Amino acid sequence: MKRKGCIITRSLLLIIMFASIYLTGCVVAGKKTAIVSDIKTAFKGTYKVDPYMEKHIPRTVAILPFIDESKSQKGAEVVRRGFYNHVSSLPYKDMELFRVDHLLRKAGLVDPVDVHKTPAEKLKEILNVDAVILGTISNFDKLFAAIYSQVSVGAEIKMYDTEGHFLWSGKHVARIHEGGISTTPIGIVASIIAAAMNVRDIQLLRACDDLFRDMVKTIPTMKYAEALRKPRIEMLAQDSKGEPRKAGDIIKVALKGDSGMQAWFDMGGFKKGIDMEEVEPGGYVGSYRVVPGDNIKDVVVTGCLSDDAGNTTSWVDATRTVTLDTTPPDAPKNVIAAGRDNTVLLNWDKNAEDDLSGYIVYRSDTPLSGFKKIGQTEFAGFEDKNAINLKACYYKISAVDLAGNESSNEGPVTGTAVPPGPTYVKGKLEKNTIWYAGASPYIIEDTVIVSERCSLLIEPGTIIKSSGGGVVIRGGLIASGSKTQVITFLSDNENIWKGITFDSVKGDKNLLAFCRIKDAATGVEIKSSSPEIRNCEFVKNDIGIKIIGGFSNPQLKKCIIHDNRSTGIEIIDGARVSITNNRVKNNNTGLLIQDAGSVSVKCNLIINNKGCGIVVKNSQAAISGNNIYDNVPSDMKGAFHGKAADANDNWWGKADWHDLLTNTSGRINIKTILDGPYPDGKSIAIPVITENLGGLIDKDSILAFSDSPYRITNDLILDNGATLYIQPGVMLLFDKQFSILTKDGGVAAMGTKDNPIIFTSSGSSPSPGDYTHAVYFSEPTKVSSFFKYCKFEYATTAIDVRHGMPEIAYCHIVNNSQSGIRCGNDAGPRILYNTIAKNLGTGGIECVGMAKPKIHHNNFIENAVAIQSFSTIYIDARHNFWGKVPPDDTVIWGKNINIKPWLEAPDMDAFLLGD
């Protein structure tokens, strides 16, 4: 080992000495060799020194990044390092290049153009030096042929002090031509070697040396500079060749300069002061062994010589940097093996590392040991063409970077070569079975039953077609595809097939992943089982997924359930389920949750379903964090009896909660909504009243069916433009003497025929006159009011309209002690399709003052008086049924009331709620 190290050391020094000879421009010649002049350089440099500099010579200098007008990839930095090497021999205190760049980056200066535009005073603040040197590269090109090469380097350099005064400038172009004609093979070899060294940047070093050697001598220095003459360095080289080095590698650095000095080298700011040994006069060698944890990129190596007086010269490697990489890449992920005829195809996710060099493939006949390398590739895939059909092999994949670091290898994965399909299957499976992708398609001739003691494993990419029968799982099923190798279940003849059924499976290790299930009566039916279903697609089935029974508790994640003819997901008979991050769209009904157990619906997209987004009936459903919108006829429908569904914090397509009143119905608890789509939307409260009613309401509010019934324990006053929205099915129970009073406010009571809104007495034995008014319009207002499918009973006067034009339609107004509807002042309500019955006192409708209601298509039955008016204002009361044909004049009071034409029989569209 010692001899080997010595040889390496001598080799490095020989390279440096060889390069140094070329740098001094010597001629290569022999007895029979005549090579045409090996260096031809025409120096026409110019320089300028400002008189100001004679009395203001700086002590500290920073060389700023050079601007590259030559458009080369690395010219500016290479030439900058070359200039730094020559300036370092002058008696200035120069700042290391990496520190200059670091301080400029901290100040936000990265682009050399921006650096050059920065005022000198600002640069002084950033760098704390007396002067700065700026450079512009005008030439940087290399031409190479078999026995000829050329390098051209040109630069203009300027020095300013950090007060903004110009001090010095120099401009020069150096051109070096290498090559010649030889009469012997020895001369040709020497010429080709010289040209090859140019490719390895030896000629570039020569050009930079010629460019700056004499230029820096024109820069004025302190008069006592000779006394402080620094040691001389001719050359510096390191053997990493610009390639990354890993743990255990040794980097050698060699320096040629004055003898008898102290020498060391730095690797940027990473490692400093690494000793170098003088192995021959003026020749110094040092080394660094890379250890785990060393991770640096493109660090410049700087060599230093110092004499006994402390005078020190530094010299950077102008053409090469050092990169240390001791961190292996990540192991390849998602390795998949697929069998084909005498071949196993391996695929995995491509690694993201920018220094990746490739992957190594290992194989073994056993899963834990014996793995041997069978190939190496730069691609995220490999074909093992030496596989034997129906013989399982085990594979591991590792990643390798440019430094040679190798990752761990995940796995193993099993791969089995198989003969090609089709493969016909039916009947009962009594042992563990694998369906291989390479044997596809599998044709189900009749129902396949996986018995209790065995499992069916389906490889990624497998295709299963059915002639009508299904797959019944009583043991186990693992059907796990991938994004690129989906497992497909579909009909073989475009007819409906039975789908997949999990029938009372005891274990919880059943999995469907990355599967596509199409054309089934029920894509997957889960009976008292708990499989995991994720990343699957259910399309064009009658029912996508059906979950039945209290022992069912499956997990549905990241599936697409769309275009199913009946229901996307159906959950019934006490089943539990977690439904997360799915897309449910374009089905008839998105989700049907009926008589279910605990159901969690979170983070799903539920849109464009034709028969309702979600239907919940008598189930403990928690529905939150979903995006639910654009479903018809509504986004969510709950039952009007039984348990309430909790549907807080969903996005309903708009941040305005008013649409919820028409897009949702039934016993659904919604107190908060999202103000934007999940997951970015924030939770906002909606004004649902949850307490007994009384006092002032001065902003829009909701009476929700989930919090019904409501009890009115004091007069409820609507003012300040507020509207009270009442959901279908809500019941309002009025204590004695109390009413809803609208001042500057309104009521929007939108019931339905099946679920009307009830205004009634809170008494245990209610009777007419138990409370004053259901609604009393006491003052003028611009806020609209309407009542649809409501029942008003047991008030003194059910609706007293002193002002405004509320619409009262499809209501049942019955058993009130004074009147059903009273109209006063200039009120003009529209009274349509109501049943007005059994009202005492002044009867069904009473009109006073200037009131002019429009009364059409109502049925007046058994009232003390059907209608009466105490004014001369025309009352339009045509097209009503008055209890008898012809109407009884004794129940119609007022000559100004026009009842003709009347209806010959009760209007069947008028609303009547049974007692």
- Three-state DSSP string of 791-819: EEECEEEEEEECCCCCEEECCEEECCCCE
Residue 76: what pLDDT? 79
SS3 content of the chain, % helix, strand, coil (to 5): 15, 45, 45
Do the domain assignments include residue 915? no
Do the domain assignments include residue 911? no
Say yes or no: 796 and 872 in one domain.
yes
10 compared with 80, residue with greater pLDDT: 80
Residue 7: what pLDDT? 42
Residue 86: what pLDDT? 85
Residue 148: what pLDDT? 46
Do the domain assignments include residue 910? no
Instruction: Give the up-direction half-sphere exposure of residue 467: CA atoms within 13 A in the CB hemisphere.
Output: 10
Do the domain assignments include residue 145? yes
Which backbone phi and psi does 461 adopt, to 5 degrees? 85, 0
Residue 14: what pLDDT? 44
pLDDT band at 877 (very low <50, low <70, confident <90, very high): very high
Is pLDDT at 638 greater than 70 in this prediction?
A: yes
Which backbone phi and psi does 153 adopt, to 5 degrees? -135, 130
Say yes or no: 261 and 283 in one domain.
yes
CA–CA gap between residue 896 and residue 819 (Å, rounded): 19
Residue 190: what pLDDT? 35
Residue 662: what pLDDT? 85
Do the domain assignments include residue 45? yes
Q: Which of 218, 243, 274 is the last residue of a domain?
A: 218
Tell me what the pLDDT averaged over the chain comes to: 88
Share of the chain above pLDDT 90, in %: 71
What are 286-315's pLDDT values in tens digits? 999 999 999 999 999 999 999 877 889 999
Say yes or no: 194 and 245 in one domain.
no
Q: Which of 84-93, 137-146, 346-355 has the highest mean pLDDT?
A: 346-355
Residue 915: what pLDDT? 58
Q: How would you class 41 by CB atoms within 10 Å of its CB: exposed for 0-12, middle for 13-18, buried for 19 or more?
A: middle
Residue 224: what pLDDT? 52
Which residue range(s) make up the domain with 626? Answer: 423-685
Q: Which of 325, 353, 379 is the last residue of a domain?
A: 325
Instruction: Name the E strands within 55-210.
Output: 60-63, 67-68, 93-94, 131-145, 148-161, 166-179
Q: Which of 325, 345, 369 is the last residue of a domain?
A: 325
Say yes or no: 585 and 715 in one domain.
no
Residue 858: what pLDDT? 98
809 compared with 212, residue with greater pLDDT: 809
Which backbone phi and psi does 300 adopt, to 5 degrees? -85, 135
Say yes or no: 234 and 212 in one domain.
no
pLDDT band at 746 (very low <50, low <70, confident <90, very high): very high
- Bridge partners (DSSP) of residue 49 are 168
Do the domain assignments include residue 312? yes
Is pLDDT at 435 greater than 80 in this prediction?
A: yes
Residue 385: what pLDDT? 94
Is pLDDT at 410 greater than 50 in this prediction?
A: yes
Which residues does 678 contact at the CB level (< 8 Å), separation at least 6? 603, 625, 626, 627, 650, 651
Is pLDDT at 197 greater than 50 in this prediction?
A: no
pLDDT band at 12 (very low <50, low <70, confident <90, very high): very low
- Number of structural domains, the chain? 5
CATH number for 352: 2.60.40.10
Residue 223: what pLDDT? 63
Do the domain assignments include residue 905? no
Residue 191: what pLDDT? 35
Say yes or no: 341 and 353 in one domain.
yes
Given a contact cutoff of 8 angstroms between Cβ atoms, the answer to whether 751 and 790 are in contact is yes
Do the domain assignments include residue 904? no
Residue 201: what pLDDT? 60
Residue with tokens 């490095």: 12
Say yes or no: 570 and 705 in one domain.
no
Is pLDDT at 853 greater than 70 in this prediction?
A: yes
Is pLDDT at 181 greater than 70 in this prediction?
A: no
Residue 8: what pLDDT? 43
The arithmetic mean of pLDDT across residues 28-56, rounded, is 57
Residue with tokens 């920018």: 354
Is pLDDT at 535 greater than 80 in this prediction?
A: yes
Say yes or no: 289 and 353 in one domain.
no
Is residue 209 helix, strand or coil? helix
Nearest to 180 by CA among 331, 283, 36: 36
Say yes or no: 727 and 842 in one domain.
yes
Question: 120-127 and 97-106 helices cross at what angle (nearest 10)?
Answer: 110
Say yes or no: 595 and 616 in one domain.
yes
CA–CA gap between residue 57 and residue 47 (Å, rounded): 17
CATH number for 84: 3.40.50.10610
Is pLDDT at 203 greater than 80 in this prediction?
A: no
CA–CA gap between residue 163 and residue 274 (Å, rounded): 37
The arithmetic mean of pLDDT across residues 21-31, rounded, is 37
The arithmetic mean of pLDDT across residues 493-506, rounded, is 94
Which backbone phi and psi does 207 adopt, to 5 degrees? -65, -45
Say yes or no: 169 and 67 in one domain.
yes
Share of the chain above pLDDT 70, in %: 90
Say yes or no: 717 and 831 in one domain.
yes
Whether the bond between 901 and the residue before it is cis, its omega within 30 degrees of 0, is yes
Is residue 395 helix, strand or coil? strand
